[in-house]
């Protein structure tokens, strides 16, 4: 089965790490569908360069079950006989604040988008993958925050730790059907999610990182691309860390 007949879904693919994954997947020959709240200029460029047969974007409000289902149904209609090869759950929101004063409504929204939404999308994807009866890939973009925990990020850490737990459980559930499920846990990257960090915070993070810098999208994308490949067919249930050594 060539990459040209493999459909990959990437959530939150309009910017940052998600956009990097979309571009690399298209370069690898996959058909790629992505979603975001708003269409960006990058989506127009990719659609023009790749064509509607290889690239699809649709608005989707993650955390809204009806919007998620509508996006998934649209992708499956677009995919046609190619079906679904991979779901990459990249979209997430950040939230910072001491838990004692962190608003409940913000915590619930964060958990709904970062964890519950992923649970629902994985369920939709697995139903399709299991029916197809061929190898497939689920990749959940996690975070070292879920593995190590950081002050002021309790809700975010809970969402990412839950994602890793989901990864391990699903790997056991569907492994015998040649479906792999893995998490990729980046460290602090130079993306919009880390834009709120102050100069002193960034300096502290860099000083604690053995490789002496923040990560970049280009540091993470190759690992995601590898997990999509045939070479990763025997890797499942793992949380693979890309953080410059800060968590070692």
Give the residue numbers annotated as catalytic, written as ranges. 156
- For residue 93, the number of C-alpha atoms closer than 13 Å in the C-beta half-sphere is 17
What does R_g of the chain's alpha carbons equal in angstroms?
17
Reduce the DSSP state of residue 235 to 3 states and report it. coil
Rounded (10°) angle between helices 117-132 and 65-79: 30
- Beta carbons of 86 and 139 less than 8 angstroms apart: yes
- Beta carbons of 82 and 7 less than 8 angstroms apart: yes
- Beta carbons of 138 and 130 less than 8 angstroms apart: no
- Greatest CA separation for the chain: 52
Reduce the DSSP state of residue 12 to 3 states and report it. coil
Handedness of CA 210, 202, 99, 184 (dihedral sign): negative
Question: CA-CA distance, 95 to 49, in Å (whole number)?
Answer: 35
């Amino acid at each position: 089965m060539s990459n040209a007949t493999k459909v990959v879904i990437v959530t939150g693919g309009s910017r940052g790490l998600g956009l990097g994954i979309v571009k690399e997947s298209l370069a690898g020959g996959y058909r790629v569908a992505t979603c975001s709240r708003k269409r960006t200029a990058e989506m127009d460029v990719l659609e023009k360069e790749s064509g509607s047969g290889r690239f699809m974007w649709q608005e989707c409000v993650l955390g809204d079950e009806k919007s998620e289902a509508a996006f998934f149904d649209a992708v499956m209609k677009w995919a046609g006989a190619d079906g679904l090869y991979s779901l990459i759950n990249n979209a997430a929101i950040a939230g910072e604040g001491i838990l004692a004063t962190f608003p409940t409504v913000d915590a619930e929204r964060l958990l709904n988008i970062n964890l519950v939404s992923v649970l629902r999308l994985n369920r939709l994807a697995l139903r399709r993958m299991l029916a197809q009866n061929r190898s497939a890939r689920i990749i959940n973009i996690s975070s070292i925050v879920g593995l190590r925990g950081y002050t002021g990020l309790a809700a975010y850490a809970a969402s990412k730790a839950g994602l890793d737990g989901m990864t391990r459980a699903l790997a056991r559930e569907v492994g015998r059907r040649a479906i792999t499920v893995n998490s990729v846990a980046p460290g602090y990257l130079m993306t919009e999610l880390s834009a709120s960090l102050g100069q002193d915070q960034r300096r502290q993070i860099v000083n604690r990182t053995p490789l002496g810098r923040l990560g970049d999208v280009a540091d993470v994308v190759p690992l995601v691309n590898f997990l999509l490949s045939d070479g990763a067919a025997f890797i499942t249930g793992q949380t693979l860390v890309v953080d410059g050594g800060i968590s070692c």
